[in-house]
Amino acid sequence: MTAFAAPIAEQIWDMKYRFKRPDGTPVDQTVEDSWRRVARALAAEENDPHAWEPRFEAALRGFRFLPAGRILAGTGTGRAVTLFNCFVMGTIPDSMEGIFEMLKEAALTMQQGGGIGYDFSTIRPRGALVEGVGADASGPLSFMDVWDAMCRTIMSAGSRRGAMMATMRCDHPDVEDFIAAKRDPARLRNFNLSVLATDPFMEAVKADADWDLVFGGKVFRTVRARDLWDKIMRATYDYAEPGVIFIDRINKLNNLHYCETIAATNPCGEQPLPPYGACLLGSINLARLVRDPFEDDARINLDELNELVATAVRMMDNVVDASRFPLPQQKAEAQAKRRIGLGVTGLADALLMCGLRYGSDEAVARTEEWMKAVERAAYLASVELAKEKGPFPLFDRDAYLAGAHVRTLDEDVREAIARHGIRNSHLTSIAPTGTISLYAGNVSSGIEPVFAYSYKRKVLQKDGTRTEERVEDYAARLWREKFGDRPFPDWFVDAQTLEPAAHVRMQAAAQKYVDSSISKTINCPADISFDAFKEVYLLAYETGCKGCTTYRPNEVTGSVLSVESEAPAARPEVREVEALPADAAPDHPGEVVYLSEPLDRPEALPGQTYKIKWPESEHAIYITINDVIVGGRRRPFEVFINSKNMEHFAWTVGLTRMISAVFRRGGDVSFVVEELKAVFDPRGGAWMNGRYVPSILAAIGGVIERHMIEIGFIEGEGKGLKSDPRAQAVAVGEEPARGAACPRCGQFALRMQEGCLTCMECGHSKCG
């Protein structure tokens, strides 16, 4: 017997959350061991750990409460990692020294596994005078390029690359360059971008008024507000960025309006945070709380929900004390305010199980009922913690109760806060839960609609065998278990069939009862008109959302997944999704999802050493290529490049590490050969063995190609892939354009979900 609903869920646990020793030996033998480990570590923060450990473990059992992945993976392991997901960093000073001090802090934070957000509005615009130097400023975009390069070199804890959010005010003189930055497909790839839209700007857009672009009190230019708005809309219509954050609404509704100002968010946008603010996330799995699903009296037991929320709040409050922090400023900020972000996942599945169509008036009303219950239970639980452990240090009773959002709480909740204080400044947030939701049985993610009710994926096992599995949505699986092949009812809608306004209505309904924000993607059809697309953002603003992120498939973003009807006679809402292979050829390595970890290194490897004598170079270069056997096939595993010429040292070490890292990820890595052979040295190449070689790097590429041919990895010279199959789309027959391939598994299965790209195949998320 296993607690997992599907093999993929167990694989996700094994890859991401299972505690293992450095040599890969599991410490957690079962997922129950993982739950017990987390419960024990968090209960250790209590005065009576033995009383709370079983209650914490009971909340985790059955995947009812889902702490964020970093909590599940790191708690109780003794590792020096942060349990917080993301941070907004300190305000960037408008000085070279200050800027690079902030860059150092960002690197230290990402090294421990945290994503980061920055407001770049504080850096003077391009062309502005730099006093004392007599030069013009290069502007914030140039420094964003530096941050982007840093992110490419820092691997976050748990082998995740860090995610970054960059914001810029709508009145910054460089905002138009910021809006257009992602038109260059190679620029700022590690950033999500969002424009901070103020209330005066939105009013100027509606009035078609002029809008000043200002820095340091000086007006640099004046534009039409509507023209600037159209530039934002056109950019996100064409390539899904930048998003829009309604920053004045965020600050107006901030529970800590009296002691902080917010100018940035974490990478997915669900946590607007002050300088050095940290977001701590967890989700109540609503799908697991539905009783009598698909019956007339299907419901969520609110007593069970209240008890689970109270336990989750206590656990998350303990994480504040149990976590490490990359910087002392982050620790001080977290402990002064004890901010947590408890949200929900499985909302769409829960609605389906209650017979409600996502986006309908009935679904909106039920969503408000459930979210209000979560908020009320969370605030009352935090009051009880304040009675026991004291309120958060910066609690000011009168100022806190005067907050615009706090004034919307039930009167008895406000009275309880007035009498006893509150332990946590903020309590609710709705975060991306892509991987966690998959681990919990493929429940619908966050408050998103179901994207696809089933899809297929292939897995390459470590022994070289392949498996293909059909992965079903949690509610769809329950329906089939209960009713067999009976067609899904008409309330089974998905993200492909919903109109954008339905998405907005659901986001606005949930936002009423969320004191932070919501990570949500509003899916728009490819053929939506530009004017209709703009109306989506205005509707989000008018209905009280704190931000808006859309995704429209097009030639730039791609259609991401191939969605086909399950059968010719089936209604359109019943969909089967199959991620397309990276190449049309049968049995091509690109069709395999490498869901397992990077290839293990045996104690001994077969290999060969080659010698290159480059003309005009004093010393020869020696290239050693070692291979590994996978599925009975020999493939390159690592490269060592050595030379006595110290001028070569830095680039040979860098090239050694990069090529070896690519080889160890699996798949068809022959594109490395073509990339190296295409490098031209502007100083000139050399004639070697009767042919012209354009650079020493091209010569190394030729050696690697010869080795691949000798071991049978490629058929012959020039037969390798021309580009990385995981880095760009490959057109196949008449199929529609697809977006970028997943950087982990190489499949074209990325989809925009809750503000970030998530892989339907292996669960990889750009936002960590």
Tokens of 443: 């429940």
The SS3 call for residue 495 is coil
Q: How far apart are CA 707 and CA 306, in angstroms?
A: 63
SS3 content of the chain, % helix, strand, coil (to 5): 40, 20, 45
Cβ atoms within 10 A of the Cβ of 610, count?
15
Catalytic residue among 270, 448, 591, 754: 270
Quick one: 409 exposed, middle or buried, by C-beta within 10 A (0-12, 13-18, 19+)?
buried
Helix (H) or strand (E) holding 752: strand 750-753
Contact 292, 301 (CB under 8 A): no
Secondary structure in 3-state letters for 271-284? CEECCCCEECEEEE
Handedness of CA 684, 686, 690, 691 (dihedral sign): negative
Kind of pairing, strands 218-224 and 210-215? antiparallel
In angstroms, the CA 351 to CA 342 distance is 20
DSSP 287: G
* Burial annotation 544-567 (CB, 10 A radius, 16+ → b, else e): ebbbbbbbbbbeebbbbbbbeebe
Retrieve residue 437's tokens: 């939701």
Q: Determine how β-strand 522-523 pairs with β-strand 562-565.
A: unpaired
For residue 270, indicate whether it is catalytic: yes
Query: How many residues belong to the chain?
Result: 768
* Alpha-carbon Rg for the chain in angstroms: 27
User: What is the Cα–Cα distance from 407 to 631, expressed in whole angstroms?
Assistant: 63
Tokens encoding 675 = 């990339």
Report helix angle 500-511 to 361-389, nearest 10.
30
Q: Is 268 a catalytic residue?
A: yes
Listed in sequence order, the DSSP H helices in 440-499 are 474-483
CA separation for the pair 241, 752 (Å, rounded): 12
The verdict on whether 266 is a catalytic residue reads yes
Selecting among 255, 266, 285, 626, the annotated active-site residue is 266
- Cis amide prior to 487 (ω within 30 degrees): no
Nearest by Cα to 611 from 673, 699, 671: 699
Q: Give the SS3 label for residue 470.
A: strand
Choosing from 170, 268, 354, 548, which is the catalytic residue?
A: 268
Active site amino acids: 266, 268, 270
